[in-house]
Amino acid sequence: MTYRQARWARGECLEPLVFELSRAGRKGVSLHPEVPARIKIPDNLTRRSLELPELSEPQVVRHYTRLSQMNYGVDLVFYPIGSCTMKYNPKVCDELAGAEEAACIHPHQAEETVQGALELMYRLERYLAEIAGVSRVCLQPSAGAHGELLGMLLVRAYHKSKGESRTEVIVPDSAHGTNFASAAMAGFNVIIVPSNNRGRVDLKALRAAVSEKTAALMLTNPNTLGLFEDEISEIAKTVHTAGGLLYYDGANMNGILGKVRPGDMGFDIVHFNLHKTFSTPHGGGGPGAGPVGVVRKLEKFLPGPVVEYDRRRKRYYLDYNRPKSIGKIRSFYGNFGVLVKAYTYLLMMGKEGLEEVAETAVLNANYIMRKMADVGGFEVKFNGPCKHEVVFSAEPLKRETGVTARDVAKRLLDYGMHAPTYYFPPIVPEALMVEPTETETKEELDRFVAAMDEIAEEARLSPEKLRAAPTATAIGRLDEVKASREPILSWKMYRKLAK
């Protein structure tokens, strides 16, 4: 008996692993012995044994139901994790993505049998291009970081086509970690520019960093402090004058939808996170999509195939004839199910709906910012209204009580809410980054502020309670370094360690 099994037998541990419940010969289904196998698998390729738990049907049902209850998700609790846009995703989008017409087609099918799918991609591309103010969009990348890498490869192809070898990509210190990594992976040297005391790009430092070596500037606007880079015109001019390109990290478009467009701000390349802004549930590494939009002069470098419409023959087709393309960045055409969800969402919302998303997302973030001004222990480092998210520093609380931003974040789990992002962006000490999103009610926002107030009070009265948090969750506080460096991800790994 393993340690966990012994605890479970004593009634102490309520989460037995499904393998621990297994008993030889127990069954959940019984197939008729004469159900014919449809495919004849060659004898040398068939498994002799397969280690699966042997369980009854109710045991399986309880197992998965229990797992779903141990999880925190936006369908269960308030999930204000900044930079990640965990908003409610309408179920109808999932339903249509799972419909037979979308889920049961094959990328190798003949074009005339998938005209609807091609039309959907064609239209989605045009909607996204309109939202970002660019001319064409590639739907292939599977994630935001994947889109960034494509963007950086486009930057390289562009400069190469002009016979220039530009080696540097400039990234502000407030940027998302993937920006630095994507630029480096594409072979560029990363030059970091600091933020000024207003939490925006320091224009003087940017001017000093820009040179004939500058390939591009990667910028997030509103930036990760939730602040709009109000000197964007000057920033764009500085980079363009030096011959560089502007890359827009559009992972979080909730704050700008229908209000401003990256293309109009001077950006040349934009990536979208369909799994943050456009209705695909995310987290845990599920399928996403990070389409990349470009201005006209970069179109020819985009990966193929692209979906085109033949007006004469009235049909959509895939155009593989792209001699200047950097080549494919992914198999086939992208995560099609995610594209279906985004398209459904855009049709549902319409232009006015998207504008309302931006207005409500920004209103909710500012509401929390103002309400939190009355909660002692937390401060906003940069004054003025924010966009879709707001970053607090728990430094005053730490000075007063020794309790850290991490302790506060973990304690929020006990209050039945997901933690905000903490210790990011790294330029704010004891950072708590809150993005309420547009899909929350005022009552939920008030409940969050009340919880923060109560937690600050707990920090003063019984700080040890916070250091031990979370205590009401299925799993207590993890050793985060160990969990990421030595993760135990399977029953086999666990068993090896438990022996």
Ligand X SMILES: *Cc1c(COP(=O)(O)O)cnc(C)c1O
Applying CB under 6 A, the residues found at the interface with ligand X are: 83-84, 143-145, 176, 178, 220, 224, 249, 251-252, 273, 288, 290
Q: Tokens 């004891």 map to which residue? A: 430
Q: For the CB of residue 409, give the shortest distance to ligand X in the complex, in Å.
A: 17
Cβ proximity to ligand X: between 114 and 246 the closer is: 246
Rounded CA gap, 74 and 72, in Å? 7
Cβ proximity to ligand X: between 224 and 366 the closer is: 224
Q: For the CB of residue 289, give the shortest distance to ligand X in the complex, in Å.
A: 9
Cβ proximity to ligand X: between 168 and 435 the closer is: 435
Cβ proximity to ligand X: between 263 and 425 the closer is: 425
Q: Which of 274, 308, 312, 305 is nearest to 132 (CA)?
A: 274
Q: For the CB of residue 369, give the shortest distance to ligand X in the complex, in Å.
A: 19
Q: For the CB of residue 177, give the shortest distance to ligand X in the complex, in Å.
A: 8
Largest distance between two CA atoms of the chain: 78
Rounded CA gap, 155 and 217, in Å? 10
Reduced to 3 states, what is the DSSP secondary structure of residue 345?
A: helix
Tokens of 309: 């419409």
Q: For the CB of residue 193, give the shortest distance to ligand X in the complex, in Å.
A: 17
Reduced to 3 states, what is the DSSP secondary structure of residue 117?
A: helix
What are the distances in angstroms from CA 231 to CA 191, 204, 247, 278, 317?
A: 20, 12, 16, 28, 42
Cβ proximity to ligand X: between 214 and 220 the closer is: 220
Q: Which residues partner with 191 through β-bridges?
A: 170
Q: Which of 107, 228, 246 is nearest to 169 (CA)?
A: 246
Q: Which of 141, 74, 475, 493 is nearest to 293 (CA)?
A: 141
Rounded CA gap, 233 and 349, in Å? 30
Eight-class DSSP state of 390: E
Q: For the CB of residue 376, give the shortest distance to ligand X in the complex, in Å.
A: 30
Cβ proximity to ligand X: between 182 and 344 the closer is: 182
Cβ proximity to ligand X: between 278 and 415 the closer is: 278
Q: Which residues partner with 83 through β-bridges?
A: none
Q: For the CB of residue 82, give the shortest distance to ligand X in the complex, in Å.
A: 8
Q: For the CB of residue 146, give the shortest distance to ligand X in the complex, in Å.
A: 6
Q: For the CB of residue 175, give the shortest distance to ligand X in the complex, in Å.
A: 7
30 Cβ contact partners less than 8 Å away, ≥ 6 residues apart: none
Q: For the CB of residue 144, give the shortest distance to ligand X in the complex, in Å.
A: 2
Reduced to 3 states, what is the DSSP secondary structure of residue 209?
A: helix
In angstroms, how far is the first alpha carbon of the chain from the final one?
10
Compute how many other C-beta atoms are within 10 angstroms of the C-beta atom of residue 332. Answer: 13
Q: For the CB of residue 77, give the shortest distance to ligand X in the complex, in Å.
A: 20
Residue closest to ligand X when measured from CB atoms: 144
* Buried/exposed 107-133: b ≥16 CB within 10 Å, e otherwise: eeeeeeebeebbebbbbbbebbbbbbb
Cβ proximity to ligand X: between 145 and 403 the closer is: 145
Tokens of 9: 């037998």
Cβ proximity to ligand X: between 147 and 377 the closer is: 147
Cβ proximity to ligand X: between 232 and 251 the closer is: 251
43 Cβ contact partners less than 8 Å away, ≥ 6 residues apart: none
Tokens of 20: 């621990």
| Angle, vertex CA 400, rays to CA 447 and CA 425, nearest 5 | 65
Cβ proximity to ligand X: between 181 and 318 the closer is: 181
Return the CA Rg of the chain: 26
